[in-house]
Amino acid sequence: MLLSYLKLAWRVLWRRPFFTVISLFGICFTLVVLMVATAVLDHVFAPIAPEVRQDRTLGIYRARMTGDRMQTSSMPGYLLLDRYARHLPGVERMAIFSMPRMAYSYQQGSRIRSLIKLTDAEYWRVLDFTFVEGGPYTDQDVAGGTMVAVINETTRDRFFGGAPAVGRTIEADGQRFRVIGVVPDVPILRLVANGDIYAPLTTAKTDAYRRELLGGFGGLLLARSQADFPAIKAELETRIRAAELPGRQWKTLTAPAESFFEFVAGSLFGGRDEPRAHPERLWALLAAAGFLFSLLPAVNLVNLNMSRIMERASEIGVRKAFGASSHSLVGQFILENLVLSLVGGAAGFALSAVVLRALNGSGLIPYAHFTINGRVFLYGLGLAVFFGLLSGVYPAWRMSQLHPVQALKGGVR
Amino acid sequence: MTRHLLRLVWNRKRSNLLIAIEILLSFIVLTAVGTVAVFYVDNYRKPLGFDVENIWTVALEMNEEGRTSVTEQSDGEAAPPQAAAAARERQARRALVEQLLLTLRDMPEVEAVAGATVTPYSDNTWTSDIEVGGRRYRYGASAGTDDLARVLGLRVTRGRWFTSEDDAAAWRPIVINDRLAREMFPGKDPVGQFVDETRPGDTAPDPANRMRVVGVITDYRKAGEYAAPENFVFNRARLHDEKSEAEPVRDLVIRVKPGTAADFEARAVARLRSAAPDWSFQAEPLPQSRESALRLWLAPLAAAAIVSLFLLVMVAMGLSGVLWLHVTQRTREIGLRRAKGATVVNIRRQLVGEVMLLTAVATAVGLAIVVQFPVLEVFSAVSPFVYGVSLAISFACIFLLTAACAWVPARMASVIQPADALRYE
């Protein structure tokens, strides 16, 4: 039965190729926009190398201090992480990294701008970088303030024209580093892992950062398993609530442990007083944006479908007269529309790949390598089905309501 | 005629409703993108207020302790810095900034240097508001040393920029822009006026905190060409002031002689680094900052424009397809009219007229929605003029679009022969 419907759907598609092409254009374009957006979001949030253990990683990305008539919020400071986030129960490893900062190098009259990120040695064990050359710096390097650095491939190209870099020195922000490792480029949208130059925390020009509660650093907590998350969060909250504040004017300090998605949601929707993350609101926002965007294409397709279905009034009349139920007719038309959407979706995938490649090549977002991976493909498939239903249900329902006599006469308003 | 068309449209209300919704949504999309575009164009032709060529900015990162450092520690790890010590350190930082300015001034390519807090095209913003005489004024603010007007080419129209005359002043000298001067002192000479924060229940203002206007500049649109004009206030930044508690400026602005090569930057930064080895410097030619800032303004608009262009192409194709199908369904009706003596032109007019009527209804609803934005001042930076122009453009575009979509089916319909059409009756 399904097979014969599918056959019929295919036939109907090519009965009026002009209209099919119009419909396909709309579906394809809509899905391209949605799929590109999905690929970009996937690029920001999904567990992509080197953040492969994201499922058991929590981050400390934001801190907020409030007092009478004032508040300050930013990234946590080194002191906060060092004092309160170490040795939490259930945490296997804990790493501290700084926000990347722009560092300038001048070499033979030309300028190289690099993002420099200061980290501890644990950073390399929490994240899973594959080294192209050499390896990471060690705990001894960090303790002793050794002037060594790990650079990414683009930085290697800029300084050494792509030649092997390990053992050679680079100058950045007036400091000289010996290169000990080279890692692949990490997209700039990955807050945790991106950087051009990675160097030990202790190579900072002054040690003032060690006494700051707020500003410039992030923490990573690698838990033994996801089941430990609630306990870790609770323990960190307890410790920070009892923290010493920089002066009497300050009353409260908060710095939650959360996933990166929760962090973004929390920064967008976080209330003034409560640090709670609102991941469900971010999901709702994304869904609403997608729905609003698909609204116009959907109405367009509904219009086309309505007209085409009314054109088939006599066919429907005959089927009804011979006893076809409304349900089976609705099913048939929704199926036809789904087939159309999936054909459009296939074209959409092909076109999205082209658009994403163009985006990667444009250099608009440094080190972006947007791709359609398995996750994005599944989301795209879901979007195609959703769009097919959105634009197919109303015409199908309208059609099933046709009175056979009227339908056979062909006079439909 | 219109009433007759209205009835025809009403008779097919269900399918026409869907078409009207489609036109309405397209109209809203068009107005949204159009408003941003018109907003940009409108801003672009207004004065920027500063020069861009031959200017470099250098952001200073002092790597010092900030206000979130823990000063009272129980474990005795570090001695708590005293307030006096902190003030001494601030003083030392101000002296070092002054020394950096002198170091740069020594370079032969340099015409003038100055310190500033918020440089053009930077990500930093400083906004503030003040209540004077029961009215609240919002403004963007910055601070600059006495040479900043010369370095950035700020155009002082009345009064003067900061000078050493202000050293002994018992108030805070400020320079404001034309826009704020007109708003705050309508019909008065703003120069010499005091600006006092007056809140209900406040006692007499602290004299040292009173602001006094010493000059008026044309404008300072820090965010660049596409940003809306805003009120602006410059404060005076002083580096050699024993009593001051102020933090030093964190940006240097350098004006070089025309024709200075790009390698100047490397030499300037080398000098700065050797003068302050613990600090970090980010130097940027202003034209380059301008380029990247403008790209940041344009990229979202470009993306939105491309997407809406495709949306409109899709709507145009869909609409002409639907109208075509409607015409084929109405063959008998049209044939009958032809048989009763309607001319080809009559038929065409009727069909295009129906669609125009539908568009008018849809855009009227759209207008009612869009007009809420200026009425409720959702985006206060966007003037009613900008909304007006963008609405006019959207109306023109949407009517052109639907007329074009109706034209082809209407032409097809008008060549229907009555005999063919009525054969089956």
Q: For the packed helices B286-329 and B384-414, what is the interaxial angle rounded to 10 degrees? A: 30
Quote the pLDDT of residue B198.
Answer: 65
Bridge-based pairing state of the strands B232-236 and A217-223:
unpaired
Confidence of residue A258 (pLDDT cuts 50, 70, 90): very high
d(Cα B155, Cα B392) in Å, to the nearest integer?
36
DSSP A258: B
Of A392, A17, A312, nearest to B329 by C-alpha is A312
Question: Pick from A304, A310, A413: which is nearest to B318 by CB?
Answer: A304
Q: Do A310 and B329 touch (CB under 8 A)?
A: yes
DSSP A122: T
Residue of B nearest to A413 (CA): B12
Least confident of A99-108, A402-411, B126-135: A402-411
CB A109 within 8 A of CB B266: yes
Length of chain A: 413
Listed by number, the residues of chain B in 355-414 with a beta carbon closer than 8 Å to a beta carbon of chain A are: none
Quote the pLDDT of residue B91.
Answer: 87
d(Cα B282, Cα B268) in Å, to the nearest integer?
11
Give the gap in angstroms from C-alpha A53 to the nearest C-alpha of chain B.
Answer: 32
Listed by number, the residues of chain B in 261-300 with a beta carbon closer than 8 Å to a beta carbon of chain A are: 262-263, 265-266, 269-270, 273, 277-283, 299
Quote the pLDDT of residue A195.
Answer: 93
Confidence of residue B199 (pLDDT cuts 50, 70, 90): low
CB contact set of B170 (below 8 Å; sequence gap of 6+): B207, B208
d(Cα B413, Cα B334) in Å, to the nearest integer?
7
Length of chain B: 425
- What is the ipTM, given to two decimal places? 0.83
- Token look-up 């800032």 returns B293
Give A221 or B131, the one with higher predicted confidence: A221
Listed by number, the residues of chain A in 332-371 with a beta carbon closer than 8 Å to a beta carbon of chain B are: 364
Of B424, B400, B374, nearest to B35 by C-alpha is B374
Give the gap in angstroms from C-alpha A107 to the nearest C-alpha of chain B.
Answer: 9
Q: Is A371 helix (H, G, I), strand (E, B) or coil?
A: coil
- Which of B280, B298, B331 to substitute to test the interface with A, most A CBs within 10 Å? B280
Confidence of residue B424 (pLDDT cuts 50, 70, 90): low
- pLDDT tens digits for B146-172? 999 999 999 999 999 999 888 888 888
Interface size A-B, in CB pairs within 8 Å, comes to: 141
From residue A71, give the alpha-carbon distance in Å to each of A115, A215, A259, B26.
29, 13, 24, 43
Which residues of chain B neighbour A311 with C-beta distances below 8 Å? Answer: 325, 328-329
Q: How many contiguous H segments (helices) and E segments (strands) does chain A have?
A: 13, 13
Q: Do B22 and A211 touch (CB under 8 A)?
A: no
Assess whether pLDDT exceeds 60 at residue A57: yes
CB A278 within 8 A of CB A296: no
- Which of A70, A307, A413 to substitute to test the interface with B, most B CBs within 10 Å? A307
Q: Do B70 and A79 touch (CB under 8 A)?
A: yes
d(Cα A385, Cα A337) in Å, to the nearest integer?
9
CB contact set of B164 (below 8 Å; sequence gap of 6+): B146
Q: Do B73 and A244 touch (CB under 8 A)?
A: yes
Give the gap in angstroms from C-alpha A54 to the nearest C-alpha of chain B.
Answer: 30
From residue A98, give the alpha-carbon distance in Å to each of A6, A126, B61, B332, B407.
57, 15, 15, 75, 62
Residue A1 in contact with partner chain B when CB distance is under 8 A = no
Give B270's strand partners. none
Q: Do A26 and B69 touch (CB under 8 A)?
A: no
Residue of B nearest to A30 (CA): B311
Assess whether pLDDT exceeds 60 at residue B80: no
Listed by number, the residues of chain A in 267-286 with a beta carbon closer than 8 Å to a beta carbon of chain B are: none
d(Cα A8, Cα A14) in Å, to the nearest integer?
10
Listed by number, the residues of chain A in 197-256 with a beta carbon closer than 8 Å to a beta carbon of chain B are: 204-206, 208-209, 211-215, 244-247
Give the gap in angstroms from C-alpha A368 to the nearest C-alpha of chain B.
Answer: 16
Which residues of chain A neighbour B315 with C-beta distances below 8 Å? Answer: 296, 300
- pLDDT tens digits for A376-408? 899 989 988 988 888 888 888 887 777 777 767
Q: Do A106 and B266 touch (CB under 8 A)?
A: yes
Q: Which long-range contacts (CB under 8 A, 24 or more apart) does A226-229 make?
A: A226/A55, A226/A56, A228/A89, A228/A90, A228/A91, A229/A58, A229/A257
Quote the pLDDT of residue A189.
Answer: 87
- pLDDT tens digits for A282-308? 999 999 999 999 889 999 998 888 887
Listed by number, the residues of chain A in 283-322 with a beta carbon closer than 8 Å to a beta carbon of chain B are: 295-297, 299-304, 306-308, 310-311
Q: Is B100 helix (H, G, I), strand (E, B) or coil?
A: helix
CB B58 within 8 A of CB B269: yes
Whole-model pTM over 0.95:
no
Question: Pick from A208, A245, A300: which is nearest to B315 by CB?
Answer: A300
Quote the pLDDT of residue B425.
Answer: 53
DSSP A214: B
From residue A199, give the alpha-carbon distance in Å to each of A120, A170, A173, B245.
8, 12, 13, 35
Of B285, B300, B212, nearest to B254 by C-alpha is B285
- Structure tokens given for B417: 């022969």
Confidence of residue B74 (pLDDT cuts 50, 70, 90): very low
